[in-house]
Amino acid sequence: MDDDPYLWLEDVEGRAALDWVAERNAETEAALTADAGFDSLKSRLREVLDASDRIPYPVRRGAFLYNFWRDAEHVRGVWRRTSPEQYRKDVPEWEILLDIDALRAAEGEKWVWAGARVRHPAYDRALVCLSRDGGDAFAVREFDLATRTFVDDGFQVGEAKTRIGWIDADTVFVGTDFGPGSLTDSGYPRTVRRWRRGTPLEEAAPVFEAETGDVSAWAWHDSTPGFERDFVARSLDFFRSETYLLAPDDTLVKIDVPDDARAYAHRRHLIVTLKSDWLGHRAGSLLAFGFDAFLAGDRTAEVLFAPDERTALDGHSWTRHHLILETMRDVSARIEVLTPGSGDGGTVGASDASGRGWTRKPLADVPPLSAVTVVDTDPDVSDEFYLDVSGFLQPSTLYRGETGADTELLKQVPARFDTTGLTVEQAFATSRDGTRIPYFVIGPDRTTTGPGPTLLYGYGGFEVSLTPHYGAMTGRAWLERGGTYVIANIRGGGEYGPVWHQAALGAERPRAFEDFAAVAADLVARGITTPAMLGAEGGSNGGLLMGAMLTRYPHLFGAIVTQVPLLDMLRFHKLLAGASWIAEYGDPDDEADRDHLRAISPYHQLRADREYPPVLLMTSTRDDRVHPGHARKTAARLRELGHEVLLYENTGGGHAGANDNEQSAHNSALVYTFLWQRLTPVDGPPGL
C-alpha cells in the first residue's frame, strides 16, 4: 500500500473525514446502544465513576493535601485542598480552589484539567495547566492559592506541549512553541528559556537547546533548602537522554551516566536507575552516589537494588530520611524501607555490592498477587507516606504512616461488584522461543462451569508493567456476568526489568505478539475458554498488539477491541508525536528498518481472502498523541475488504478517549456490549 487511498482520513478535522467518522459513529451507536442491556450497563458503570465514597487520593503541598475530583455534580471536576486533620474524617471539608465546570461556562472553552505546578517551598502560587477538550497540548496560567484566582499579569503560555516549572517567585523555566524551529520533529519543545516576571515570553533568555531530531528539551530547579540547583536535559530518543547541571554562569556540567540510565539529584545523593549494564552493575539496578563526589570523578556506588531473573524494580519514593523501595517478584508487589548509613539523609558512604552502607526492612506485608503503591510522601519535612494496597478482588485501601511507626488505615473503597465464586490465579504460558510468560486469570472456576467468555488484555511496550489492581468497571461489566478476565505480562513491558522490555524492541517486536498468542492458546488448552469465546483488548501500543492479533492470529479470537491504536507502522513517525517512538519500533525512513515495520504494520497486512474476527476500533478526534488516522484508515480498509468492523470516534477526550465520567461510562459500555454480544453463545455462557 505505498499508494495509500485513505490518506484523506488523516486530515483530523477535515470536513470529508469528519462526515465519514459521523457515519461510522452512527453505525456503531445503532449496533450497540440498542442492545437490551446497554442502558443499564452504562448506568452501573457511571455509578462506579461518580461514587462519592471513592478514595480522594492526596498530594501533600506544605500544610495542605490537594486533590482533583470529578463526580455527578462536578462533571469536569474541581481542584481542592484540605488539612491532614480534616482528611482523616469520613467526610472531610474541602476548600475549592478551581471549578473547571464554572470556568468552562464563564469562558466558553472546553477546558479539561491538565494538572498544576505548585511553587515550592512557599506553596503560594501555582502554574495551572488547562487542555482544550483533553489533548496533550495545554495552556498555562498562574494561579494565586490565597485568593483562589488567576493572576491577571502573571505567567501565561498559549496552547502547546509546554514544559514549565518554577525557579523562584518571579522566574520560571519554560520550553514551548516559540515559532518555527522551536519544536523537535516529535512536536515537543527544543529550547529552554529562563522567563522573568513582567517580561514578554518571546524575550525570555535561552539557556539550552536540543537537536531537531531529539524528542524534547526541558529544565528544572531543585528548590530543596540547602541543595538549590538547576538542571537541563535533552531526550535523544524515547529511552536515552543527557542531563546537565546548569551552573550559575549557565555553563553545563554533564552528569556522566549512560544515556539510557535515569539519573537525578536528591539532597547529597545522585540516584541512578540502570537500563543497561554499567561499572559491573546489572541493568535494572538502582544505585546511589555522593553527588559532589560523582562530579569529581568518584564512581563508588551504593547498590540499593539489584535485580535477578524473577525480580524487578517497580519504583521508589523519598521521605525526609528514608527511601521506600517498590519491587516485583513474578509481578507480585513487595515494599521495603531503606535508610542511609548516616541516618540523616546525608552522604552515602562507600560499600560493596550488597549495599550494606544502608539498612533495609519490610515496610508492609502485601497479600499475594496484589499491588502496593506509594501515593505520596513528604520528603522535605517528615517521614510521612500514603500507601495504597489493592488486588483484583480486593478494593483499594489507603494507609498513612511514618517510617519506623505503625500505619493507620485512612480510607477504604467498598466492594463495587459481586465476587462470589470468583478466584485469582497466576499461570505461565510458554512462548514460541521457550520463554515463560506470566499471566493473571480472574473469574469463575472453569473446571466446574466449562469454557466461557474470556477477555484477554495486553500492552507489551515501553517498559510498562501490568500489575494487579481492583478494576471495578471490569468487575461490573464482565466478571459479574460470568466472564473471565486475563492480563498477559508479555515482553516489551517492564515486569522483569529492562531486559524484558528490550527483548521486544525494533525488529524483535514479534516476540511480544508471540507471547500474547501463547497466552491465548494456553487459555484454550486449559479449558478456560474457546477461540469463539475469547476476546482481546488493548490500547495505544496495545492497539498495535491487537492489530497484530487480528492479522497474525485471527483464528485464536472471537472478537478484538483496539483503542486509540497505533496501526500504520510506515507512517506513524509522520503523525503527531510518532517520531518520538522510533526508538521503540524503528525508523520507517531507514531501509534497515522498513521491512520489519511493514511486516508488523497491521494496516498493511490486511487481506480480503482471510477470515478475521469482528473488530471494534475506538479513538478520539482530539487525540494529539496517537493520530486518529490510524483507526480511521484501518476501519476503512477493513470495510473495503468486506470484513466486520465498527469504529467509534469520540470528538473530545484526547488520548484517554474521554473527558468526563459520562463519556467514560458510554465508551466502556460500548466496548463491553460489543464483546458480550460476540463472545457469548446464543444460549448464554455455561453456568449462567
Mention every residue, 6+ apart, whose C-beta is less than 8 A from residue 289. Answer: 269, 270, 272, 298, 299, 300, 301, 302, 348
> Are residues 401 and 387 in contact, defined by beta-carbon separation less than 8 angstroms?
yes
> CA-to-CA distance for 554 and 81, rounded, in angstroms?
50
> CA-to-CA distance for 308 and 499, rounded, in angstroms?
11
> Are residues 318 and 309 in contact, defined by beta-carbon separation less than 8 angstroms?
no
Q: Which of 612, 586, 609 is closest to 597 using CA atoms?
A: 586
Cell of 162: 509546554
Instruction: List C-alpha distances in Å: 65 to 87, 295, 608.
Output: 8, 36, 57
Extended beta strands in 133-258, E state:
138-144, 149-150, 156-160, 163-168, 171-175, 191-196, 205-209, 216-222, 229-235, 241-246, 252-254
- Active-site residue flag, 120: no
Extended beta strands in 544-681, E state:
559-563, 615-620, 645-650
- Active-site residue flag, 655: yes
> Are residues 158 and 143 in contact, defined by beta-carbon separation less than 8 angstroms?
no
Catalytic residue among 396, 431, 540, 580: 540
Catalytic residue among 322, 643, 655, 666: 655
Cell of 26: 452512527
Provide the 3-class DSSP secondary structure of residue 90: coil
Query: Which DSSP category does 603 fall into?
Result: H
> Are residues 535 and 560 in contact, defined by beta-carbon separation less than 8 angstroms?
yes
Angle, CA 413 vertex, CA 408 and CA 417 arms, to 5° = 150
Task: Point out the residues that are catalytic.
Answer: 540, 655
